[in-house]
Amino acid sequence: MTNDQSAGPIIVVGIWRSGTSLLYTLLNQHPQIALMYEGDLFLLRSLFRSARSKPDRLERWEFWNNALSRHNIDTGKLSACAADYPAAATEVWKQYAKGALYGDKSPNYFDSLQPLAREFPNARFIVIWRDLADTCRSLVRAAEGSAFFAKRGMSHRALVGYRKLKCECDALVRNGVRLHQIHYEEMVQSPETVMRGICAFLQIPFDPRMASLEGADRSAIYEAPQHAGVKSEKIRLNGKPTSALSPELSGKIARYVAYWKKESAGSWPRYPQNAGDAKPAGLLERAADEAYFRALRALDRFTAFVYCHAPIAVLRRYRGAKTQPRAVTTPESTVLSEAPNRN
């Protein structure tokens, strides 16, 4: 079967630690699919704000998260100046895909589905959901070996971002954008069924390799303790992570799930299947949490802006010094240390 390259990219999204890496790996088992792993050029789109892209855009992108080297991109074959972000991203995606269906997987896009759909009108989105409490437990465990997950407010980003992702999905559905949603719990319990559904959505034949991790190419995935599961040879439904949630966070999640269940007449989220006896989150709590979430996301955007426009030599000196002990943490170092370059 010949893929229609005019169909646009496939974009895989979910909250951090919700199974996006496992989904990415299973998708790329199909010989007609070759997605990039957290290319994340969309986060650096201010590189393309002027009439032409910044001349050092490739250097900055590589410095951000090693996306080009992780995917063995031949930068000598890329355009010297890309007209805009969609053109730059598509060029790299297509080089990596080598004729297969192309695109990107990234949890960092959870609140950006609508802007991405505007940039790529023919895009197809696959969104994965996971029980929010289990997602946050996994975030807590990942923080033990990852500076990215250990940074301030990650669980809060996931909590409020969970609803943001739902709103983005609802907007895509209203606008007729092609969207397919799956659940982590079902993917690990019955991978063939879930992957068959994705193939039907993408209009390609199912390949049995998609239901297994055996022989999968995971070379683009960062070497990190939190990726041990996806780098194994078996798909496993893990029990509750050993890292427990604080009573405060556990209670907050329960209240939000109760609120969402009440708001949706019990239809969302699918997991957990019942909200228990928690009291739904109130207006004041939701407003305060929304304000904190916006502040965190503003910091995320500012960090990306710094990486796009600060002198690259300064960024390199900082990166080199980051591993050295520091007696004082300055505001600049706080911002730079939160760059999402090791998700």
What are the sequence ranges of the domains in the chain? Answer: 5-242
- Backbone φ and ψ of 200, nearest 5°: -65, -40
**Encoding tokens for residue 165?**
């992702």
Sign for the CA dihedral angle at 87, 91, 97, 98 comes to positive
Using DSSP's 3-state secondary structure scheme, residue 61 falls into helix
Residue with tokens 């019955």: 190
Q: Give 312-328 pLDDT, tens digit per residue.
A: 999 999 888 865 654 44
Local confidence band at 177 (pLDDT 50, 70, 90 cut-offs): very high
Given a cut of 50, whether residue 329 has pLDDT beyond it is: no
Q: How far apart are CA 95 and CA 102, in angstroms?
A: 9
* pLDDT at 229 (0 to 100): 80
| Diameter of the chain measured on Cα atoms | 60
Q: Give 70-125 pLDDT, tens digit per residue.
A: 999 999 999 888 889 999 999 999 999 999 999 999 999 999 999 999 999 999 99
- Specify the higher pLDDT residue, 331 or 78: 78
Burial classification of residue 79, based on how many CB atoms lie within 10 Å of its CB (0-12 exposed, 13-18 middle, 19 or more buried): exposed
Residue 267 neighbours by CB distance under 10 Å = 9
Q: What is the pTM of this model?
A: 0.91
Q: How far apart are CA 14 and CA 342, in angstroms?
A: 16
List, in order, residues 6 or more apart from 161 with CB less than 8 Å away.
15, 110, 111, 293
Local confidence band at 238 (pLDDT 50, 70, 90 cut-offs): low
Given a cut of 60, whether residue 332 has pLDDT beyond it is: no
CA neighbor of 103 nearest in space, from 52, 36, 152, 57? 36
Q: 5-242 is classed in which CATH architecture?
A: 3-Layer(aba) Sandwich (3.40)
CA neighbor of 106 nearest in space, from 88, 89, 92, 127? 127
Given a cut of 70, whether residue 126 has pLDDT beyond it is: yes
Given a cut of 60, whether residue 16 has pLDDT beyond it is: yes
Whether 8 contacts 124, CB under 8 Å: yes
Residues above pLDDT 90, as percent of the chain = 78
- Backbone φ and ψ of 12, nearest 5°: -105, 130
CA 302-35-150 angle, to 5 degrees, is 40
